[in-house]
Each structure stands twice: as structure tokens, then as C-alpha cells.
Amino acid sequence: MASESEQKSATIIDGKAIAQTIRNEIASEVSILSQKYGKVPGLAVVIVGNRKDSQSYVSMKRKACAEVGIKSFDVDLPEQVSESELIARVHELNAQQDIHGILVQLPLPKHINEEKILGEISIEKDVDGFHPLNIGKLAMKGRNPLFLPCTPKGCIELLRRSGITMKGKKAVVVGRSNIVGLPVSLLLLKEDATVTMVHSHTIDPENIIRESDIVIAAAGQAAMIKGSWIKPGAAVIDVGTNAVDDPTRKTGYRLVGDVDFKEASKVAGFITPVPGGVGPMTVAMLLKNTLDGAKKTFEQ
């Protein structure tokens, strides 16, 4: 058996660097559009309430817009806002000509019906890709959604830009959320992978994961996927961002993925780190969707 020092280690997929390349591409396209049409893409970023994690995601998204020249429209609503008020705001944003994308940060407070809100966003401005019509088109063969959800699209882009073939491969998606697990499994299908979904009721998940060439981990459970569950040479995309206590840090915590990185990076062929893997790609794909939405209206 190979000693630890002889063990081959995985290629680390640098999501931060790949996302930066995409952001540079977007910035130059925005600048060309601005010269050609005298207009820039606009994104409305709506946040309801004071969740710390949502606030931090939203501020990252707004900052990223500014960096590439996309105009962000900030809508900050109190936790107690009524469902009808929020719907009225969404309708205003739907009607506003200089807004090409609308993002309502999730989760919403309990008294607001998320499904209802997402269904009110104009499908042409649904840069999160969560409108049931966009998800429905994603689920059907031969139909093209106007927008793909950002994190799933980012996962596929990481595989593509790392030269990993999906066609014909065995892929497993761990987790079945509306935001990541479900749409990423549909995207992998569209890429002609053979897709299995593992979730909290799956019997013997380890063996299913161990047979898979591509693993997308989106369960929200810190380090639940062990190195021994990974097929040697597999590509591992870790969507998890779980805070675990770490008294050595100033903040008192650190972020870890759903995969035990230390173990899995000795077995996998490719692996994304947390942080610095999928996270930056989500933001880059949001910018890309907004740019694409704006281009469609400018070119009309």
C-alpha cells in the first residue's frame, strides 16, 4: 500500500479564480453594451429581514454587481413586511425598464409564502431561475428555460472548465433542495450523465456515492461524506457551507463543506475547496444571467 506521502492528491478546482475569469469576461461585455446602447444591465436584489447569512450573501452580490458595472437596485424590507406588500414591490420591479433581473433572497420569513413570491417574478427577469415555468422547462426534454439557477449552473461550469466529461458518466447528487439538489440533477441529465439522487431516506448512500464518477454534495451536513466513500479519481463538487465551532478563529467558527476535504482530496481526481469553490461561482452566474437578460432586451 502507498504511504501517505506517496498518495496522489486531487487537483483542486479553484472556483475563486474561475469565477474571477468569468467576472472579467462579464465586465468587458458590460462595457461594450454600455458603449453600444448607452445602457447597463440592472439587477434588483431584494432582502427581507435581518438574517446574518442572507445579509452577507446579498452584500456580496451587490458588491459583485458594482465591480462589473451592473447597476444594482437595493430593496431592503423589514421582517414584518406583509406578503401583499412584497408582491406589490415585485410587480413594481417587473415593470421597471432599467431592471433586467430580480433576485429575492431566500429563505423568506415564515409568514410569507415563498412559492407565491417566486411565481410573481416576471419570467424574463427570473435570474435566479426559480420561477416554476423556468424549473418546469429545465425538467423537460427539448425545452429551454430562460435562466438556469445560479449555484447548479456554477457547478456545471466548474466541471466544464476543469475539462471533466459528464456525458455517460455516473453522477450522484447528495441532497434534493429546490435551490441546488433538484436543479443540478436536471442539469446533469441535460449533460447526458446518468444521475442518481441520494437524500435523507436513501438506503446505503455510501455505496451509491462510491460508484459515482461525479459527486455533487449539497446536503448541508458538515463533512458527512468521508474519503472512503469516494471513488478513486472521481470529481467532487462540494456545495456545502457549514459553520463549525473553531475557537482558534477570531470569529469562533469556520466554514466547512459537506465532504471531508482532508480525506477526500487524497482519493478524488478533482475536488472543490470550501470556501473558494462553488460559492464564488454562484455570484458569477448571477451576474452572467443578469447580463444575458439585459442583452436580450437591448437587442430587441
Q: Which stretch binds ligand GUN (CB under 6 A): 1-9, 99-107, 137-145, 245-253?
A: 99-107
Q: What angle do CA 45, 49, 51 make, to 5 degrees?
A: 95
Q: Choosing from 71, 125, 126, 128, which is the catalytic residue?
A: 128
150 sits near ligand GUN (criterion: CB under 6 A): yes
179 sits near ligand GUN (criterion: CB under 6 A): yes
Residues in the interface with ligand GUN (CB under 6 A) total 9
Does residue 128 carry a catalytic annotation? yes
Does residue 116 carry a catalytic annotation? no
Does residue 204 carry a catalytic annotation? no
Contacts of 265 (CB under 8 A, 6+ apart): 9, 10, 12, 227, 271
106 sits near ligand GUN (criterion: CB under 6 A): yes
CB of 128 vs ligand GUN, minimal distance in Å: 5
103 sits near ligand GUN (criterion: CB under 6 A): yes
Q: Which stretch binds ligand GUN (CB under 6 A): 35-43, 87-95, 100-108, 238-246?
A: 100-108
From 64, 70, 90, 105, residue interacting with ligand GUN (rule: CB under 6 A): 105
Long-range contacts of 176-180 (CB under 8 A, 24+ apart): 177/218, 177/220, 178/130, 178/135, 179/106, 179/130, 179/149, 179/151, 180/149, 180/151, 180/152, 180/155, 180/216, 180/218, 180/239
SS in 3 state form for 80-97? CCCHHHHHHHHHHHHHCC
Between CA 257 and CA 222 the distance in angstroms is 6
From 151, 185, 265, 290, residue interacting with ligand GUN (rule: CB under 6 A): 151
CB of 45 vs ligand GUN, minimal distance in Å: 9
**Active centre residues (catalytic):** 61, 105, 128
